[in-house]
């Protein structure tokens, strides 16, 4: 039997687990209550992202058995993803100080990098750079930043789910174009796990992802992007391009908040997507806009780079410039208005 027959199965598992998580949250009053920093106006259950976590982690051993994932890749994904999800779950149910969360995130990143062998050589403007131990350090900071920016960007209905599905499907397409048929499975399984959750999270959301889910998606997408770079060096650039909406909004917002002297670990609603959702008066146009940007703008550039037709750094600059323009247009990092 082909493992592709299991894709709808894991989508269904995620769907049912999300329904169960919603009942659990309602029964235990695990609710996200609106406040001055929220982008929603009604109390909503949270913690549904655990369905994504459990579905994808359960699929990992099967991928090894079907010989579409190595044991080292499985342990890297399993250990880092489960660890980050547990930390997020505990934070969802209580509160973990920011410094301890950050330490835990670096532990998860180091675990993943130890199993995958760090960061391979990077090709920049045609030059092949072997970074050695510096590559480990840069990769660790990359994973931790991606994990945290995914938490930051999970602020309106459906946006984090749509981003993950778009990136995973784009990454799978790149593998198909390069003839890497076995590598396709991992991003596809993550995409279907997120799709099962998205049914409940699509605007208007009936449950939120929570830190367990968003942190898990952030580090898992990061690990998958680094694994892609071991398949073909240019694919790291392609994944960075596919992740462009989240990377640019979160990074530009953080940069402006740091310049202003804000406490960067405090919750806020000054991301471009949050300003845009208030301008439109609803979440759906913004979430669909992110999907359109991913499909119509970022994916073609990622493919151009991924198949070896374009330089990775040039492609990323080309992809990001309009995104920076949108961040400026929608006042990313500026003080929120009521």
Residue 256 has which token pair? 């402006």
Q: How far apart are CA 288 and CA 211, in angstroms?
A: 22
**148 is known to lie in a ligand binding site:** no
Residue 39: CB atoms within 10 Å:
19
Among residues 187, 113, 186, 190, which one has the least CA distance to residue 144?
A: 113
Q: What is the DSSP letter of 107?
A: H
Residue 2 has which token pair? 């082909």
Cβ-contact 226, 48 below 8 angstroms: no
Tell me the C-alpha to C-alpha distance, in Å, between residue 4 and each of 8, 71, 184, 186, 188. 8, 19, 10, 11, 9
Query: Under DSSP, is residue 32 helix (H, G, I), strand (E, B) or coil?
Result: strand
- 96 Cβ partners below 8 Å, 6+ apart? 87, 90, 104
Partners of 129 in beta bridges: 122
- 166 Cβ partners below 8 Å, 6+ apart? 242, 290, 291, 294, 295, 299
**154 is known to lie in a ligand binding site:** no
- 149 Cβ partners below 8 Å, 6+ apart? 218, 246, 247, 250, 251, 254
Tell me the C-alpha to C-alpha distance, in Å, between residue 189 and each of 4, 136, 161, 212, 223. 9, 27, 14, 18, 14
Q: CA Rg, the chain, in Å?
A: 19
Annotated binding site for Mg(2+): 151, 211
Annotated binding site: 151, 211
């Amino acid at each position: 039997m082909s493992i592709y027959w299991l894709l709808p199965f894991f989508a269904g598992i995620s769907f049912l687990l999300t329904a169960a998580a919603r009942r659990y949250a309602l029964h235990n009053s695990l609710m996200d209550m609106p406040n001055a920093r929220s982008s929603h106006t009604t109390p909503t259950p949270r913690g549904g992202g655990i369905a994504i976590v459990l579905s994808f982690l359960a699929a990992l051993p099967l991928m090894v058995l079907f010989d579409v994932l190595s044991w080292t890749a499985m342990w890297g994904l399993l250990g880092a993803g489960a660890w980050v999800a547990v930390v997020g779950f505990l934070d969802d149910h209580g509160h973990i100080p920011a410094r301890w969360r950050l330490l835990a995130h670096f532990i998860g990143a180091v675990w993943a990098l130890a199993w995958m062998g760090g960061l391979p050589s990077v090709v920049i403007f045609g030059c092949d750079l072997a970074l050695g131990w510096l590559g480990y350090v840069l990769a660790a900071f990359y994973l931790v930043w991606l994990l945290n920016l995914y938490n930051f960007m999970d602020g309106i209905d459906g946006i984090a789910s749509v981003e993950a599905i778009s990136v995973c499907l784009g990454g799978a397409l790149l593998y198909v174009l390069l003839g890497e048929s076995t590598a396709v499975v991992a991003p596809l399984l993550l995409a279907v796990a997120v799709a099962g959750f998205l049914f409940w999270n699509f605007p208007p959301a009936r449950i939120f992802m929570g830190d367990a889910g968003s942190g898990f998606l952030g580090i898992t997408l990061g690990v998958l992007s680094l694994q892609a770079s071991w398949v073909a060096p240019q694919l790291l650039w392609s994944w960075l391009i596919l992740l462009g909406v989240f990377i640019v909004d979160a990074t530009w917002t953080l940069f402006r908040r740091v310049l202003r002297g804000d406490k960067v670990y405090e919750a806020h609603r000054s991301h471009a997507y949050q300003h845009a959702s208030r301008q439109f008066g609803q979440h759906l146009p913004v979430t669909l806009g992110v999907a359109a940007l991913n499909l119509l703008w970022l994916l073609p550039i990622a493919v151009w780079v991924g198949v070896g037709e374009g330089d990775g750094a040039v492609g990323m600059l080309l992809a990001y410039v309009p995104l920076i323009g949108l961040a400026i247009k929608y006042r990313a990092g500026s003080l929120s208005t009521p």
